[in-house]
Structure 1
Amino acid sequence: MRKVKIALLHLLPIAGDISYNQKLIEKAVRCAAVKEVDWIITPELAVSGLQFSRKIGTHWINQQPDEWMTRFMDLVKSLQVNVFLGCPEKSKEDKYYNSVFIIGKNGQLLGTQRKISSVTDDWSTSGEFVEPINVDGIKVGLSICADSYTPAIANTLLEKGSEILIAPSAWGPGLHGPDGEWEQRSIDTGLPLFVCNRTGEDETVLFWEAKSLVIKNGEHLLSHSSKQSAVLTFEWNLDERDVISDQFDVEYLK
């Protein structure tokens, strides 16, 4: 049986407090690595928080890997895990992107996905393409938060050979909250979809009831929401395309 052990970092980042968020990510990654996971996934913009630009602007955003990410990549290598990291980046053309970086067990960058839908991100530029990224021989498609709102991106990832969809997100319930989009994308594509969401609150968005999910054929196989940061661990059967775990193994971060 081919399987993969995954940790979703259901974190409580603070918008604009970069140092705090970086330390929280490092702590959560170390915690997950102890559980001998293969993949560790953070929420969207885990490094910055969602609405950081209203507090600290964008001048601090660097081309990646910057000094901190270089150290973080060394940490990932020392722990021998793959990490999906939500972090803003600046391009050589001085454009800003809402990105997810996939760092391999060797500490090298396996790939980057830039968020396509930037309607609510007044600081960011839309990414130009989506492409599956090979992680441990598995083609993984990334659909960052609102990129799951319509079928186009998920369908493109399916057409390009994705075997699993991962949705790093900062999408809280409410008037503009998720309303069946993730479930429908799993139905549209026939692919499992893993949502790594967050908790806490930013200036105008509440995440306290936001859910991290494992979805198959529109059904929630695993679900979690909490008031504090948590590491959610589960095992996935790659051959059967189903969960091995009947619930998340949850460890709260203090």
Structure 2
Amino acid sequence: MKKLKIALLHLLPIAGDIEYNRTLIEKAVQLAASKQADWIITPELAVSGLQFSHKIGTDWIKVQPDEWMTHFFDLVKSLQTNVFLGCPEKSADGELYNSVFVINRKGELIGRQRKVSSVTDTWSSSGTVIEPFDVEGIKAGIMICADAYTNNVADILLAKEAEILVAPSAWGPGLHEPAGEWEQRSIDTGLPVIVCNRTGEDKTVTFWGAKSLVIKNGEHLLSHTSVQSAILTFDWDMESMELLSSQFEVDDLSD
């Protein structure tokens, strides 16, 4: 049995407050690692918050790894875990992307997925490469929020032998709320979908009722909403593709 302990960081980032969000992420990662989490997953754009550009613009976005990201790599190495981190980035040619960085236990960047469906992200370009990442022998595919809206990204990941789909998201109830997209992607591919969502609110979007989920065959195996940051830990058997936990182990993350 290959048991995987996964921690979802169901956070309340503040749009545009980069220092606050970085500190929150570091604190959450340290606590999740203390619970022996093998994978730690943040929401989409955990470093910046979703609607940050109207507050601080985009000039601060750097080519990665920047100074803080390098520090974060060292932190992950010291904690001996794997992290999926949502953070904006600038490419070498100056394009901006909504990205998820995959960092292994050695503190090495083993890959980045750039959001493909960037229609609503007016500051970012669309990613063009869709590849699963080998995380300690497990092929993880990443769908960033609206990348799950159609079957395009999930189908490509399945064709490239992804074994599990990770969905870092900032997708709450209200206008254009989730309406079965994650569930359908799990049915389409036959793969489990792990949704790490968030709480709080930004300029025009609220996330108080946003759900972090573990989904298999279209069914919610685990679900969580909260009005404060929380760490959600569960165990998954990669051989039988079965949930080993009866519920999320929830740790509230107070300031």
TM over 0.5: yes
Q: C-alpha deviations, 1:107-144, integer Å up to 9, x for none?
A: 00011000000010000000011000000100000000
Which residue does the alignment assign to 1:211?
Answer: 211
Aligned equivalent of 1:135:
135
Q: Which residue of structure 2 lines up, in the alignment, with residue 104 of structure 1?
A: 104
Determine the C-alpha separation between the residues in 2 that align with 1:23 and 1:54: 22
Alignment partners' CA distance in 2, 1:77 and 1:94: 29
- The CA distance in 2 between the partners of 1:4 and 1:10, in whole Å, is 19
Corresponding residue for 2:225?
A: 225
Normalization by structure 2: what TM-score?
0.99
Distance 2:207 2:136 in 1: 32
Q: Which residue of 2 aligns with 1:158?
A: 158
Residue-by-residue CA offset, 1:149-198 (whole Å, 9 max, x unaligned): 00111000000000000000000111211000000000000000000000
Q: Distance in 1 between matches of 2:32 and 2:154?
A: 28
Structure 1 residue aligned with 2:54: 54
- 3-state SS of paired residue (2:167): strand
Residue type matched to 1:23 in 2?
Answer: T
Q: Matched residues in 1 for 2:63 and 2:84: separation?
A: 17
The equivalent residue for 1:193 is 193
Q: SS at the partner of 1:8?
A: strand
1:188-231 Cα shifts (integer Å, max 9, x gaps): 00000000000000000000000000000000000000000000
Deviations 1:31-62 (A, max 9, x none): 10110110000000000000000110000000
Match of 1:176, SS state, is coil
Deviation at 1:243, TM superposition (A): 0.6
How many Å separate the matches in 1 of 2:110 and 2:175?
36
Listed as ranges, the gaps of 5+ residues in structure 2 are none
Instruction: Name the % identity.
Output: 70
SS of the equivalent of 2:194 reads: strand
Alignment of 1:7-26 (within 5 A): 7-26=7-26
Across the two proteins, how many residue pairs are aligned to each other? 254
- 1:90 maps to 90
What amino acid is aligned across from residue 14 of structure 2 in structure 1? I
Partner of 2:64: 64
- Which structure 2 residues correspond to residues 230-241 of structure 1 after superposition, within 5 A? 230-241=230-241
For 1:97 and 1:200, how far apart are their aligned partners in 2? 23
For residues 175 and 64 of structure 2, the distance between their equivalents in structure 1, rounded to whole angstroms, comes to 34
Distance in 1 between residues matched to 2:137 and 2:54, nearest whole Å: 40
- Name the TM-score, length of structure 1 as normaliser: 1.00
Instruction: Tell me the secondary structure at the aligned position of residue 210 of structure 1.
Output: coil
Q: Which amino acid is the alignment partner of residue 31 of structure 2? A: C
Residue aligning to 1:115 = 115
Give the alignment's Cα RMSD to 1 decimal. Answer: 0.4
Stretches of 4+ moved more than 3 A in 1? none
